[in-house]
Structure 1
């Protein structure tokens, strides 16, 4: 949310919202839509309106606290962004482990807040979508935390290096299980749907999906990332990995 405010303040020419983001980043998409009509709308004011519109009287206050924690976590753009980039190794060295731990903690707290109202909102499809998003954020950031720890031990302790890689892969697979079989998040399924739309230019979607391939919102991209990280495993007793091998 914080970067969106910055973009509007700096008079960005435009912002692209991929169709998949409608289901994987609901709060941000809604806020961006509101800003299109009211560029001066502050996030705090929007948040109350958003929560009251979507949740029961007994839930919306807890959800506001949930969103505030996520917004706080997202202020560290490099750290929070690790939940999205399909090539995290390009950015992971720029991130401090303690900052990543802090971000994970905030996101876990946010998820806990959302789960407090599960019994009240379990039949609310809007709630289920946002709960899924929160889970994915936590799972992917925890994966990146273990990947960061693996990088720290890559030249000293092969066993510990592999252990952290396994933890990383485990969290990514947990995220993948949340998305498997859900056509809303699939680039290929969405492409097939667009091909059936009269007058749709599939080449535009193909160009956009090339950009979107840099993000791990989709099962296709998660599987690719898991495969790349699995390839980093080393046999114990082999030569120590060099920095360039990562």
Structure 2
């Protein structure tokens, strides 16, 4: 079990014992985020896609990847982000950018991916909607996207390396719970969760997706997804996570 570190809230000065999160590395070893002891936490007032990830090197396989930045919620209502020990070597310069844009992704906020025109799949059935979403993810650059085998249990429709997606083909706006469940599955799989909906999203669902940095897309019956929040725009512009 990871060793707890003391953290003092910069807003109310209350002290907490924080246990750094542990994630499964691609090599199979558990990787605990190396929170800096005695660190000064950053008061989190606004989340951005880049700053929500930190670059960490696995001590077992030496693989360098990016993971969700460790955060702590205080009883006073403040949320703080905790700095981690930067990886050794020349890649330490990445730490100066605050975070990467996702697991295995090199920070490149000004880059833009050039793609051919997207050829949509006309949506007539719920299965067509899933097929259209899969085609769009492949067009974005995610390889190996396939229909999930555990859809009835997890609610996840599509899976691929570093990516999961859910498709809501109903005529009702997608709700808050669906967005939160997708985020939880993405955290468990160390993958980016992307949502596609035919009827759009409720206001609370959109707000939570913005907070959790989940890309949201809406699709019309032509099968052409359109971004509805900043994380979706960033995904179109920057493309999928690339292994280092």
* TM tier, smaller: under 0.3
Identify the structure with bigger relative contact order (alpha carbons < 8 Å, sequence gap 6+).
1
Question: Taking structure 1 as the reference length, what is the TM-score of the superposition?
Answer: 0.25
Structure 1 or 2: more strand by fraction: 2
